[in-house]
Amino acid sequence: MIILQFDIIHLHFNTPLRIGIRGIGEESTKTYIPSDTLYSAFFNSYSKLFGYEQTSELIEKFINREPPFLISSTYPYLKLKNKVLYFLPKPPIETTYIEDSQYLLKRKSIKSAYLVELPLFEKIIKKKITFTDLVEMIVDKKAVISNNIIFVDNDAISSFLNHENDENKKNVGVNKITLTSHNTLDRLNLYSAIYFSSSVYFQDNAGLYFIVKFLDNNFKTEFFSTMRLLSDDGIGGNRSIGHGVFNFDESKITITEPDNASRLITLSMYIPSEKELEIILRNKTQVKYSLTKIGGFIYSLKHHGGLRRPQIYLFNEGAILPKFDNPEILGSAPILMTQGDTKIIRVGYTLTVGVVM
């Protein structure tokens, strides 16, 4: 057993969070912040503090595989009594077919869950729990699934079960999503159009956290200065109406990794380098992943009004990869386009944990 200790940053949101997903008529929101979005927000705040030239130097370090820090995507945390529950991507677990209607229903809900509580995450990556075990835990009420998150903490389970049949159930858990209607007016003929957007509200005892790994300790002062500005400016959409504002604090998290890990699970959005992609393609049977196509706009101090960023596919969090010779820096930060002397990149470096498959 290998004990990994990581520095983490808790984000406690004072206002709703919106990380938009395109839709027709209804614009959905993610309930977390992917690592590539967090990097982009960080660079934006960094440029306000330290200027265009210094920001360009920082981006060059990421392009040249010399990043001063690496981060994971954000994941929920929940404070219960004198403890904090942390959640991570659900590792792949081999499913089994059970001919029972009750078990079949639980099987579907487990498959749709995408986050698990840390103790369960550690059991899955060590292969100390089977899919059948997990189904039985749900049936026996030793685990609870809410909003596609699997809870195993006894206090959390009791809280869910105590409110299972009453209207206060909506106040149990990590967050809730609300839908807000908006009205726009055409500038030429003043015709109105209604559209809807979603936002995430976190419970008072909950929020998001991310892992940060400093490869250059001298960068810590700049990192936390930037985080303070970002916390005031806000992150995500609708910042002009106050969304995405948060407080943050530092802490640590411990994850136990199996000694006999044969593969890696990613904790960040991931863009493989050319060498890594060759290894992945040579070991296709050892790889499990899903892809997300990402585009959008970026803000630049030199190009007011934003620039459209070319679309690119990224591996989602929770991808299973083969082991690499140098796992400390996995991924890349490809240049998507240049605008004058401005380089537009997408950061796809990932943090990983070993897993038995």
Would 302 be classed as within a structural domain?
A: yes
pLDDT for 204 equals 87
Look at the block and give the residue holding tokens 């614009």.
27
Would 304 be classed as within a structural domain?
A: yes
- pLDDT at residue 101 is higher than 70: no
Mean pLDDT lowest among 104-118, 185-199, 337-351: 185-199
Q: Measure the CA–CA gap between 312 and 279, rounded to whole angstroms.
A: 20
Q: How confident is the model at residue 50 (pLDDT cuts 50, 70, 90)?
A: very high
Kindly give, in sequence order, each residue whose CB lies less than 8 Å from that of residue 137, ignoring residues fewer than 6 positions away: 143, 152
pLDDT for 179 equals 61
Would 275 be classed as within a structural domain?
A: yes
Q: Measure the CA–CA gap between 225 and 127, rounded to whole angstroms.
A: 41
Residue 137 and residue 128 in contact, taking contact as beta carbons nearer than 8 Å: no
Q: Measure the CA–CA gap between 293 and 313, rounded to whole angstroms.
A: 4
- pLDDT at residue 48 is higher than 70: yes
pLDDT digits (tens, 9 = 90+) for 325-342: 777 899 999 999 887 778
Q: Rounded to the nearest 5°, which phi and psi values hold at 216?
A: -135, 105
Would 226 be classed as within a structural domain?
A: no
Instruction: Round the average pLDDT of the chain to a whole number and report it.
Output: 86
Q: Measure the CA–CA gap between 237 and 250, rounded to whole angstroms.
A: 25
- pLDDT at residue 58 is higher than 90: yes
Q: Rounded to the nearest 5°, which phi and psi values hold at 148?
A: 65, 25
Q: How confident is the model at residue 171 (pLDDT cuts 50, 70, 90)?
A: very low
H/E stretch holding 281 reads helix 274-282
Q: Measure the CA–CA gap between 254 and 240, rounded to whole angstroms.
A: 37
pLDDT for 116 equals 95
- Measured over the CA atoms of residue 258, residue 212, residue 172 and residue 147, the dihedral's sign is negative
The percentage of the chain sitting over the pLDDT mark of 70, rounded to a whole number, equals: 87
Would 345 be classed as within a structural domain?
A: yes
Would 288 be classed as within a structural domain?
A: yes
pLDDT digits (tens, 9 = 90+) for 185-213: 777 777 777 766 677 888 888 999 999 99
Domain encompassing residue 276: 262-355
In the chain, how long is the greatest CA-to-CA distance? 68
Would 245 be classed as within a structural domain?
A: no
As for how many domains the chain has, the answer is 1
Q: Measure the CA–CA gap between 2 and 173, rounded to whole angstroms.
A: 31
- pLDDT at residue 121 is higher than 60: yes
Mean pLDDT lowest among 7-16, 84-93, 183-192, 260-269: 183-192
Would 285 be classed as within a structural domain?
A: yes
